[in-house]
Amino acid sequence: MTTRTALLRAFAAAFAEKGLEAPEREARALLRASLGLSDLDLVTRGEQPVTEEDTARLRALADRRAAGEPLARLTGRREFWSLDFTLAPETLVPRPETETLVEAALALYPDRHAPLRILDLGTGSGALLAALLSEYPAAFGIGVDLSLGAARQARENLAALGFAARSRVLVGHWAQALAGGFDLVVSNPPYIPSTDIPALERDVRDHDPRLALDGGSQGLDAYRALSLALPGLLVAGGYAVLELGIGQERDVAALLAAAGLPADGPARCDLAGIARAIVARKP
């Protein structure tokens, strides 16, 4: 019977051979997530044996990770804004840079007890909407996604986090079924140019849903649709916060300005210094 430490070393070596970045960290994350362990468990109880059943299961997961499948896809879970989300094949894996949108929204509405009406377009796992509802206990939010599978998962995540009474999730194409009246609209739309998708890292290219990635020939199709919809969705003085791809700030700002929604200053940058969240305000 093998031990936790032996599996950790074996997986780290396999990941290094496949060229994964930080292979030991990846191996530790796999063991933690799959066995429900902490880092302390791995350090102080590394010699504890692992059952043959768990060893076989872990080796199968390690093979999939070495082949490029993201850990979040293997475990079916991902943390975002300190909240735990279940993933579906139809949802993106929530990423840390998207938390920049939450930070931007919190700065726009510092009163955490404001009874905001929030809309999340392209809600996916519901991560953005849930994060905002966790910060604004008097808010009500609606999530919309074109994918039935994503909408179903978002609804389940919101319910699991205790937000079922303060949220609704709809299946639809952007805002076609909505009448407006929102104080805040957020969106992490598909923004990768179609021709760039084959060159993406394999964990994104091969495992994230193309519907949530492909932004058309220039990566701007979703922003064009959003720019047309936002004026009718926002109340006067309301804000839209949209995630940006690298180098898209100028083009998206121009689309929003043409729709009567001037950008509220420069886009907010993520921790890597990339312009990530553009804010626009309805006069």
118: tokens are: 């929030």
Rounded Cα gap, residues 47 and 31, in angstroms:
13
- Whether 125 has a binding-site annotation, put simply, is yes
- Whether 189 has a binding-site annotation, put simply, is yes
- Whether 137 has a binding-site annotation, put simply, is no
Cα-based distances in Å from 45 to 6, 13, 51, 195: 12, 20, 15, 48
Longest dimension (CA), the chain: 67
Listed in sequence order, the DSSP H helices in 21-51 are: 23-35, 39-44
- Whether 49 has a binding-site annotation, put simply, is no
Contacts of 104 (CB under 8 A, 6+ apart): 241, 268, 277, 279
- Whether 188 has a binding-site annotation, put simply, is yes
Q: How many residues does the chain have?
A: 283
- Whether 124 has a binding-site annotation, put simply, is yes
- Whether 126 has a binding-site annotation, put simply, is yes
Annotated binding-site residue numbers for substrate: 188-191
Annotated binding-site residue numbers: 122-126, 145, 174, 188-191
Annotated binding-site residue numbers for S-adenosyl-L-methionine: 122-126, 145, 174, 188
